[in-house]
Structure 1
């Protein structure tokens, strides 16, 4: 895992000034790769790399890396799990190797097969390859979007990087993208290909980009929506999932440095930790516990599973002060607006874990594959004709008048979910799915932001939202295309790489993903339960409590923080003169939202206020300094 950046000049060789700017850009992402940093020029191209040494930790595997004949050069962020078999194939074709890592294998695979090598890769990655003979550069991103890659096109150059922070250093003129802003305040994140800045785009998962003769062409090499219905029986499918997941975990345990697993005590991380413990005795497991918020604390569950599988368990206890300090640290670290508040707990857990290991395995992706979110069961139930649905649908106008419930206590969270469900019942299936993706409704955001987005039905134009009410797999695949890379995986990447920690995701092995997506949705979930296959595959090897506990995420008590520790920052960022000068928000609407939250104690807009803080913190670091 590393950080990469580069500049490709169409018209002239790279100058000393270009190299200096790129070196400064690499310094901006040095947290992603604290072990080694280097910049090299190759004619019209300059590549930069910040290395986190995982495989072949010797200097021989430092990047940028070039083939012996000087034709090809690469910078690469990620891991290729099948690099040993690829190396063997390449050796049979006459290639020889001077390192034992995967970077040289990827470089020579590209030299041999070109973009066709992408289909052969099993791993997660974002990389740039240059062919000096053809004066062509390619950018590529892994199938599931585990690793990020941003790029900016200008008349004479294209520049790219692992994080948005590189572009300011590389001279990109920052200008807000209004459409992206509307999406951010609804979703708490900005989905690809959008970013907060005009002209800067995210490469899509499963896509590569070719740059030659001033022409830029994007092409997909993987299509999640391409499926062939499986005829496997339920029993056969459960066994196949068990075997595919076992192989996926085994491949992800290959490392030349210490590794472990995240363990919350929930189904996904418990399964990954159990399988890992079968291949690596006494594996390190890591969990976080909250001293001041028992409702959110799963540390006892994690300890129970750790004892059951015999892992070497590490538990970080986090109090009110540490979590609040982490909230400010996250605000200062973010390179783009990203307001999933669970990132704060992931930041703390990653910080602690990185003191012990460099590589961690996580359970990310299981919810999107097997229907594990509460909204999946809710969407399933909402499509059924039942008396309870009719009652809740008629009661929706009354329920909407109740004050917003808090996610941090059981009763308030139930009220929040009930109101959201009843509101959704009044919508058609597609709009219901969109509504349940949002944290803030479109009308509120439309009134809050001064400049209106100019795309009608902006959600309809986003990739990954093709839905069919009669095929629930379409919901799961939409989540894999949209929610998973843009929120869940982005969160893990940003928070773990802030501390130079590599996170590997066994559930997202593309062989497993494709197999599960071809299975009937009824194998995975029903109206009352999700992850049916995982429950059946692993119930005999894990404590029953793992499968019976209600699902929890890394929630934080955001409502109470906004009314205490973060309130001063809200006030500072809401100064009317600043807001009017900034010309992003409608001051009166912002004041109404804050009055509703602080004086009327309505929690409905807590997420919106946290998004406001995140955006303002990013905006001032990008456009100006706040005095």
Structure 2
């Protein structure tokens, strides 16, 4: 469904053109939400005004508010951006939708790929809001509201909730035991709210600290029996199912283990395209879809995930690397930063992955401050190489580190984790869970670690306390209160999927089909020579150079195959840096046509 709001015309009231709206004397309110009561949203807006109400609303929602008195349209996303809200404007007025696919039904819209957004996606695996993969189409950022003044035809975006604020505020004066107590009380409150629902609850259980802690609290003291789900792999070094089974046996959950096979990659691959409004490069999307299918089959109302635990509890592996960077002598950092030049001279045919890794660390070493270093943290491809890969040229979009303000004197870790939440967690992990449950008629996503109140409390705990006895000290100590030591003593490891091995062997046809020379040349999006060199290096068995970049290319091609009939011309915006129409954090003038 696409909703239009016409520009103000003298003597005529601006009215919505379709959609489910609730009316008050001053406001017309449209909402799309997961759970909660839309009447409460209406009441809060009438009582507190737009910004005041948004600061109190905790439901997963996307909201449009038409202020009939002030002639303003407000478009708002929840603090996670879990329900997307897309928007654009033309000579007739403003249009918006909770589904990017609704734009494909509008014959008068000329839809083209934004090459700068394409570069963002290939670089990080997601498109950072307020941009989208489509030129001229914006997306409301998490915790933000976009306000259109219908009289002045102007637009500005503002934050009603900003994670930087709690992270940069003074820390609680707590020792480790007190931090553990606070964490336990907070999570019990969140999990009790989930258990209070009428339906059954399912949870992803990997056997790691994040998912184990949530399973413990959801199962403990509840009348409902928790259902837990684990994804296993036959490949050595990937399978965590035995750990999860031990936890499930101890907690006495109804446990299901599904062993993902190479054939499942083919089975789920073509399901992804129609489910994605925008391409997403998270390799865990397919395991998440499997878990969602199992939970839907078993009649679950909630699917609980432990996403965001690494960032909230300060256990991300980058932290130790940045600590070394900060302590390194400046002269040594300057010398080390020459490594990309050396590798270009000595190993001109080195993989893009090796070159970019050296480039990334070199730029971080040269950085004068944390903000500059953060810009290069997750880079997959050096900027000059990205310009070669994407045909036509583009002006890069600024990253979050370049557009967001930084508190003077703030601790490096606070800035790091706040920005990781606002970029990777909100745009990748949250999007992955929302896409994977898209087909469920009544399956609702619950992410306890990413509840707004929990983020704010954990932000006020000093990073050094969170890692007092190693990574995830708080979670480990909390679990040790309730579980035997044999279940809590295991090294930290992330959830990884052997997709790269499958793409080199049983499912190599996926790479050959979607990245064939004929297909790439016909599309005219990428330089065939650059892309085919990437593919050929990847297909050397036993190594995965440039593996994440290749997966991002596959996800884009899967999305593009679905969208190509709806795109104009070759589907790519023809002008360099054509993004001013929708995507700056600062206020902008809406063109009068």
Contact map agreement 2:246 2:487 (CA 8 A) in 1: no
Contact map agreement 2:203 2:304 (CA 8 A) in 1: yes
Q: Which residue of 1 aligns with 2:138?
A: 201
Q: Give the Cα separation in 1 of the matches to 2:193 and 2:35.
A: 11
Work out which of the residue numbers 5, 10, 25 in structure 2 matches 1:8: 5
Contact map agreement 1:229 1:519 (CA 8 A) in 2: no
Q: Which residue of 1 aligns with 2:15?
A: 44
Q: Give the Cα separation in 2 of the matches to 1:106 and 1:469.
A: 35
Is 2:147 the counterpart of 1:210?
yes
Q: Give the Cα separation in 2 of the matches to 1:279 and 1:404.
A: 53
Q: Give the Cα separation in 2 of the matches to 1:321 and 1:313.
A: 23
Q: CA deviation at 1:488?
A: 1.1
Q: Describe the shift of the 1:458–1:72 C-alpha distance in structure 2 as closer, same or farther (beyond 3 A).
A: closer
Contact map agreement 2:116 2:395 (CA 8 A) in 1: yes
Q: Give the Cα separation in 2 of the matches to 1:319 and 1:546.
A: 27
Q: Which residue of 2 aligns with 1:334?
A: 276
Q: Describe the shift of the 1:486–1:384 C-alpha distance in structure 2 as closer, same or farther (beyond 3 A).
A: same
Q: Which residue of 1 aligns with 2:173?
A: 232
Q: Which residue of 1 aligns with 2:318?
A: 375
Q: CA deviation at 1:449?
A: 1.1
Q: CA deviation at 1:135?
A: 5.4
2:170 counterpart SS class: coil
Q: CA deviation at 1:487?
A: 1.1
Q: Which residue of 2 aligns with 1:490?
A: 431
Work out which of the residue numbers 481, 496, 500 in structure 2 matches 1:559: 500
* 1:3-58 deviation per Cα after TM superposition (whole angstroms, max 9, x unaligned): x753323369xxxxxxxxxxxxxxxxxxxxxxxxxxxxx9731454xxxxxxxxxx
Is 2:48 the counterpart of 1:113?
yes
* 1:276-329 deviation per Cα after TM superposition (whole angstroms, max 9, x unaligned): 112424532332333422422222222222222232223333322123312332
Structure 2 portions without partners, runs of 5+:
568-593
Q: Give the Cα separation in 1 of the matches to 2:542 and 2:237.
A: 21
Contact map agreement 1:285 1:306 (CA 8 A) in 2: no
Q: CA deviation at 1:232?
A: 1.8
Q: Which residue of 2 aligns with 1:350?
A: 292
Contact map agreement 2:231 2:291 (CA 8 A) in 1: no
Q: Give the Cα separation in 1 of the matches to 2:364 and 2:489.
A: 27
Q: How does 1:164-563 map to 2 (within 5 A)?
A: 164-171=100-107, 172-213=109-150, 214-227=153-166, 228-234=169-175, 235-356=177-298, 357-385=300-328, 426-428=365-367, 430=371, 432-455=373-396, 460-463=401-404, 470-500=411-441, 501-525=443-467, 529-544=470-485, 547-563=488-504
Q: Give the Cα separation in 1 of the matches to 2:562 and 2:227.
A: 36
Contact map agreement 1:290 1:319 (CA 8 A) in 2: no
* 1:551-602 deviation per Cα after TM superposition (whole angstroms, max 9, x unaligned): 4444222222322454334333344454334221111111222222225865
Q: Give the Cα separation in 2 of the matches to 1:243 and 1:541.
A: 14
Q: Give the Cα separation in 2 of the matches to 1:350 and 1:393.
A: 46
1:354 counterpart SS class: helix
Q: CA deviation at 1:248?
A: 1.8
TM-score (norm: length of structure 1): 0.77
Q: Give the Cα separation in 2 of the matches to 1:467 and 1:583.
A: 46
Q: Give the Cα separation in 2 of the matches to 1:332 and 1:452.
A: 29
Q: Describe the shift of the 1:488–1:71 C-alpha distance in structure 2 as closer, same or farther (beyond 3 A).
A: closer
Q: Which residue of 1 aligns with 2:548?
A: 607
Q: CA deviation at 1:147?
A: 3.0
Contact map agreement 1:65 1:75 (CA 8 A) in 2: yes
Root mean square deviation, CA, Å: 3.7
TM-score (norm: length of structure 2): 0.81
Q: Which residue of 1 aligns with 2:30?
A: 74
Q: CA deviation at 1:134?
A: 5.7
Q: Give the Cα separation in 2 of the matches to 1:220 and 1:458.
A: 17
Q: Give the Cα separation in 1 of the matches to 2:225 and 2:94.
A: 44
Contact map agreement 1:371 1:531 (CA 8 A) in 2: yes
Q: Give the Cα separation in 2 of the matches to 1:557 and 1:423.
A: 29
2:34 counterpart SS class: strand
Q: Describe the shift of the 1:224–1:615 C-alpha distance in structure 2 as closer, same or farther (beyond 3 A).
A: same
Q: Describe the shift of the 1:574–1:321 C-alpha distance in structure 2 as closer, same or farther (beyond 3 A).
A: closer
Work out which of the residue numbers 537, 558, 570 in structure 2 matches 1:596: 537
Q: CA deviation at 1:396?
A: 7.2
Contact map agreement 1:187 1:440 (CA 8 A) in 2: no
Contact map agreement 1:435 1:441 (CA 8 A) in 2: no
* 1:379-411 deviation per Cα after TM superposition (whole angstroms, max 9, x unaligned): 33443459xx99x969978999798899xxxxx
* 1:223-244 deviation per Cα after TM superposition (whole angstroms, max 9, x unaligned): 2112321342213333222211
